[in-house]
Structure 1
Amino acid sequence: MTWQNSYQRWNDFDKLEAEMRTQLNQIQTDEESLEDAFYKNLEFGTGGMRGKLGPGTNRMNIYTIRRAAEGLARYIEARGEEWKENGIVIAYDCRHMSKEFAIETAKVLGNHGIKAYVFSSLRPTPVLSYAVRYLYAAGGIVITASHNPPEYNGFKVYNEDGGQLPPAEAGAMIEIVNQIENELQVEAADQDDLEANGLLEWVDKKVDEAYLKELRGVNMNPHITHDAGEDFQVVFTPLHGTANVLVRKGLEQAGFKNVHVVAEQADPDPEFSTVASPNPEEHQAFEMAINQGKKVGADILIGTDPDADRLGVAVPDEHGEYQVLTGNQLGALMLDYLLSQHLDLPDNGIMIKTIVTSEFGRAIASYYNIETLDTLTGFKFIGEKIREFERTGEYEFLFGYEESYGFLAKDFARDKDAVQAAVLATELALFWKVKGKTLLQALDALYKRHGYYLEDLQSIKLDGKQGEEKIKAIMDTFRQEELTEVAGLKVLAVEDYASSRRWVVKTGEEETITLPASNVLKFVLEDDCWFCLRPSGTEPKIKFYYGVKSSSKADSLERLEKLKQALAAYLPAL
């Protein structure tokens, strides 16, 4: 079916929702916009789906939401009556249409006799992950586009363990979703009827209280806040998202009394009007927190993304200027703190990170005789391993993290958890303050012990159909290019996760990569350096990851810059 056919089907649908009709009429003479809205179905991938709001098969709207929900309903039905009775938990963030999409999802599930537990107001993603386990549900859904721009929304699916669907489960569901040819014809039940019949239940307080009780276990040294927390100053920004209430309650019950919330960013705002991007990875997101931090003399600044699964941290340097830590740096500090303060480290303890996360964490874990496991990018793979080890007893999970500001200390949630991370990072900063050090000084001590691991990330945004083609061309070029040296560093090995092959450049010797297939290329260089290419699974971007190591910060900075420049030289021609 051509995009013109898809557009005509929508244009001819006499029951098209009024707002959709208005928006469709506004672009009816703009062929480029029409093609982009209709040239494909919005992809339902391994992480659910995410896209721009608006009319069309390639947009987030009530019809594409219903299609996804119908696929989930059929997937649950195929697993039997018990799964239907266990139901699905639904949470949502502050974005445009989030609550409406949550209710539409519940109405489609209810049409199949599947119960929906729906939060009556916005909640963090990790609370949804916990709620699935707490309510013994068959799965969960979060309506969120995480840190994407305001014009986006998304639909993330979780399994009965509270983790995002791993590839095998996602593949089975994707197959069902793709069988639904006409999203305009998906039926949805009446909300009032579902509530009267017990197929739509609103959940709030009992889940929050249970989650906060579990959150107490994140503190490694509860006595520190009692003994030394009275003067410790915290500035917190939820960046207009979902974290405000639970992060403040979590810090309060941990004993932190001086928590200053950035007032301009405290309330939910689907436009994220005070930031260019509601992403704690972006330093501009901390501008207001830094200004407030200087006024109150804050010891730490913490910021969460809109659905509260990512945490960023900034701390003062020796000149009183606030420095934003990278996800790799914060993860390394958390990991070292958890392992150093653990009273009895298990012999089978394990730390889990992704293939694009710094090797710094592996060095720290090894120092404490703890094994490290690498997974593909995406926290669902870490959650999947936690579940596997819980079942087999092979390893005891101690910490999981990824460079993109995702952390998990306690496995009562099975997705990255910024609420947990906020409490842990604040205690961590107080711990080092009591010892007379800032987090930057503690980090420098780790570098001196293990080597100066430095990383960087560059993202190239390429929108629309042409953007997809350019991203494919870049990946194809690097796959075909027989690189032997980059920035004066020999290429030792190439790892192509799409073909599950790893080969040694010098000898041609090959081995099989045992991780699931994924469109990722990693080049392993000499002297513990590397770079990696990966198309984003949630945004129209291709990402270049870089990692270097040396015995000094200056050498690592120089090596990192040379590596970035060498790769940048390839891009203009592509």
Structure 2
Amino acid sequence: MTWQDTYERWKAKYDLDPQLQEALHKMDESEAEAAFNGTLEFGTGGMRGVLGPGTNRMNIYTVRKAAKGLALYLEAEGRADEGVVVAYDSRYQSFDFALETAKVLGVHGIKTSVFTGVRPTPTLSFAVRHLHAGAGVMITASHNPPEYNGYKVYNEQGAQLPPVQADQMIAQVNAVEDELAIDVVDKTLLEADGLLEWIDDEVDVAYLERLGMVTYRKDVARDDLSIVFTPLHGTAYDLTMRSLAQAGFKNVHAVEDQVVEDPEFSTVKSPNPEEHQAFEYAVAKGKDVGADILVATDPDADRLGVAAKNAEGEYDVLTGNQLGALMLDYKLANLDDVPANGVMINTIVTSQLGQAVAAHYGVETVNTLTGFKFIAEKIETYNRNGEYDFVFGYEESYGYLVEDFARDKDALQSTLLACEMAAYYKERGMTLFDALDQLFERHGYYVEDLHSLKVSGAEGQERITDIMEDFREDPLAGALVVEDYREGTRTYVATSEVESLDLPHSNVVKFWLDDDMWCCLRPSGTEPKMKFYFGVRGKTREDADERLSRLKERVLKRVEG
């Protein structure tokens, strides 16, 4: 069937959703081809796409297809009786998609518990565990632009599906042939039959109780710390303010214009705390109230960005690597007893500074592929076999997990830890950047950077393929070790010795050079881009910056050529 055939099939459906029908008839040919030429792929991280009519768009019919696949997956796994928890963020149609999920699951007799209002992603992760559900669904597109929404599926552990489960789920979704012919049950009937229940505050109360665990020094004076907080128009405001108050932080100033749950994210170019422009309003508020720390969460509150005053007295945003290493160091330094078999879990593109910090306290470091589902999978494995005790997990992309009662990155936990840490250092006349300098002096000056190559269309994807193959066939000059995660091998260049990597296969290549320098090439799994990660260690900050600049120039010059 051609895209034109599918387009006409949608137009001919007499009871198509009226808004989608109207948008359908306004499409020109190029818009129609983009919307119907292919299907919105359900991948290892769920699905994410532009809202609108079409098989390649997020709408109630593509959501029904995903929900149908979830129902079939749960039946095959024998977990249908355990039910599903669904949460959603502040984006366009998020509530509608949550309800459509329940209406499809109800056909299969699967009970769905849906939150009455927006909730953060880590709350959904916690709720799956707390309610002993068989799966969870989070309707969110994280920090993507306003025209996007997405659908993430969680397993019974409250973690995004690891590869084996994801493959099984994807196969069930792909087996659904006609997204327009999926049966649904009316909301009223679902409620009457007990197949749709609404979650109000009971899970929040339990989650807040567990957030009380994220306290490592009760003697730290919290009243004096001035905090500016922004949820960037997302889900985190209520629970973050309640958790900060519960922990004793009384001097908290919200950015009023960004507290509003606005699906347009109208005050920012991008609701992403990784990008410094997202802090513009928080910086202004911070200067107004004399804040010590600025805290920003992305719309679904799984990522956290923090800004503090630098040596010049200006607010500066810490990188994800820097904040992760600081929080790891603070937690380990203030634990009553560091576990003898403690483990910190991060990813292959995270700074080596975290590993140095962990080793300082006798804690092992385990690396995973990029994606927090791999960190969650390791936590579950270690909890079952007793090999390690989890102490901390993080990614360079501003995602952290402090305690494992949730199994996805958790900006609310991270906010509590970052604020306690800032209060601790303030008592000692220090900022977070002063504390970072202490880490550098102890472990060396670790500096990292990320370069993204954005592409479009088939030619762009072909270019990414060519680049990856070129670096595989002719490794980066000066590389001592080459790790090819697609092949699952680690090669020592000088001796040609090859050993196996104990990680899932992925299209990633990492080069280790002398003196703790490394570079990693990874095509993005969710966006049309390729990412180049760089890391170095220097004797001084100037030395590290110079080495990083040379490494980047060498790699990117080759890419441009």
> Normalized against structure 2, the TM-score is what?
0.98
Is residue 162 from structure 1 mapped to residue 158 from structure 2 by the alignment? yes
- 1:81-160 pair list within 5 angstroms: 83-160=79-156
Q: 1:515 aligns with which of 491, 503, 514?
A: 503
- 1:406-445 pair list within 5 angstroms: 406-445=399-438
Q: Secondary structure at the match of 2:74?
A: helix
The corresponding residue for 1:23 is 23
Rounded Cα–Cα distance in structure 2 between residues aligned with 1:526 and 1:10: 58
The corresponding residue for 1:563 is 551
CA contact (8 A) 2:104 2:185 kept: yes
Q: Secondary structure at the match of 1:57?
A: coil
The corresponding residue for 2:534 is 546
CA contact (8 A) 2:230 2:259 kept: yes
Q: 2:70 aligns with which of 69, 72, 84?
A: 72
Q: Secondary structure at the match of 2:219?
A: helix
- 1:182-193 pair list within 5 angstroms: 182-193=178-189
Is residue 180 from structure 1 mapped to residue 173 from structure 2 by the alignment? no
Rounded Cα–Cα distance in structure 1 between residues aligned with 2:499 and 2:283: 48
Is residue 337 from structure 1 mapped to residue 330 from structure 2 by the alignment? yes
The corresponding residue for 1:356 is 349
The corresponding residue for 2:381 is 388
Q: Which moved more, 1:204-213 or 1:41-50?
A: 41-50
Q: 1:217 aligns with which of 203, 213, 218?
A: 213
Is residue 58 from structure 1 mapped to residue 56 from structure 2 by the alignment? yes
CA distances 1:296-345 after superposition (whole Å, capped 9, x unpaired): 11010000000000000000123320010000000000000011111111
Paired residue total: 561
Tell me by how many angstroms 1:465 deviates.
4.5
Tell me by how many angstroms 1:9 deviates.
2.8
Q: What letter matches 1:371 in structure 2?
A: E
Q: What letter matches 2:475 in structure 1?
A: L
Rounded Cα–Cα distance in structure 2 between residues aligned with 1:484 and 1:466: 24
The corresponding residue for 2:489 is 501
Tell me by how many angstroms 1:183 deviates.
1.0
Q: What letter matches 1:30 in structure 2?
A: E
Rounded Cα–Cα distance in structure 2 between residues aligned with 1:446 and 1:512: 33
Structure 1: state its 5+ residue gaps.
none
CA contact (8 A) 2:222 2:420 kept: no
Q: Secondary structure at the match of 1:137?
A: coil
CA distances 1:443-464 after superposition (whole Å, capped 9, x unpaired): 0010011011111112233244
CA distances 1:337-394 after superposition (whole Å, capped 9, x unpaired): 0111111111111000011101110001001111000001000111111111111111
- 1:156-555 pair list within 5 angstroms: 156-224=152-220, 228-480=221-473, 482-485=474-477, 490-555=478-543
CA contact (8 A) 2:475 2:482 kept: no
The corresponding residue for 1:41 is 39
CA contact (8 A) 1:36 1:465 kept: no
CA distances 1:76-96 after superposition (whole Å, capped 9, x unpaired): 11223xx22220000000001
Rounded Cα–Cα distance in structure 1 between residues aligned with 2:531 and 2:61: 31
Tell me by how many angstroms 1:408 deviates.
0.5
Q: Which moved more, 1:349-358 or 1:4-13?
A: 4-13
Q: Which moved more, 1:246-255 or 1:8-17?
A: 8-17
CA RMSD of aligned residues (A): 1.3
Q: Secondary structure at the match of 2:397?
A: coil
Rounded Cα–Cα distance in structure 2 between residues aligned with 1:461 and 1:149: 16
Distance 1:484 1:460, change over 3 A: closer
Tell me by how many angstroms 1:18 deviates.
1.5
Tell me by how many angstroms 1:293 deviates.
0.4
Rounded Cα–Cα distance in structure 2 between residues aligned with 1:478 and 1:13: 49
Tell me by how many angstroms 1:513 deviates.
1.4
Tell me by how many angstroms 1:10 deviates.
2.3
Distance 1:290 1:484, change over 3 A: closer
The corresponding residue for 1:8 is 8
Alignment identity in percent?
A: 58
Tell me by how many angstroms 1:518 deviates.
1.2
Tell me by how many angstroms 1:12 deviates.
3.0
Rounded Cα–Cα distance in structure 1 between residues aligned with 2:125 and 2:133: 11
CA contact (8 A) 2:485 2:509 kept: yes
Q: What letter matches 2:11 in structure 1?
A: N
Rounded Cα–Cα distance in structure 2 between residues aligned with 1:423 and 1:293: 18
CA distances 1:496-528 after superposition (whole Å, capped 9, x unpaired): 211212212233221111101112121111111
Rounded Cα–Cα distance in structure 2 between residues aligned with 1:220 and 1:164: 28
CA contact (8 A) 1:365 1:372 kept: yes
Rounded Cα–Cα distance in structure 2 between residues aligned with 1:346 and 1:56: 52
Tell me by how many angstroms 1:215 deviates.
0.3
CA contact (8 A) 2:111 2:196 kept: yes
> Normalized against structure 1, the TM-score is what?
0.96
Q: What letter matches 1:354 in structure 2?
A: T
Q: What letter matches 1:221 in structure 2?
A: R
Tell me by how many angstroms 1:466 deviates.
4.4
Q: Secondary structure at the match of 2:160?
A: coil
Rounded Cα–Cα distance in structure 2 between residues aligned with 1:394 and 1:85: 32
CA contact (8 A) 1:162 1:414 kept: yes
Q: Secondary structure at the match of 1:569?
A: helix
Q: What letter matches 1:483 in structure 2?
A: P
CA contact (8 A) 1:457 1:545 kept: yes
Rounded Cα–Cα distance in structure 2 between residues aligned with 1:563 and 1:58: 39
CA contact (8 A) 2:48 2:150 kept: yes
CA contact (8 A) 1:455 1:546 kept: yes
Q: What letter matches 1:201 in structure 2?
A: E
Q: Secondary structure at the match of 1:336?
A: helix
Rounded Cα–Cα distance in structure 1 between residues aligned with 2:185 and 2:460: 38
CA contact (8 A) 1:484 1:505 kept: no
Rounded Cα–Cα distance in structure 1 between residues aligned with 2:93 and 2:524: 24
Distance 1:114 1:68, change over 3 A: same
Tell me by how many angstroms 1:39 deviates.
2.3
Q: Secondary structure at the match of 1:223?
A: coil
Q: Secondary structure at the match of 1:114?
A: coil
Rounded Cα–Cα distance in structure 2 between residues aligned with 1:365 and 1:15: 59
Q: What letter matches 1:67 in structure 2?
A: K
Tell me by how many angstroms 1:26 deviates.
2.0
CA distances 1:168-212 after superposition (whole Å, capped 9, x unpaired): 000111111111111111111111100111100000211000000
Structure 2: state its 5+ residue gaps.
none
CA contact (8 A) 2:536 2:544 kept: yes
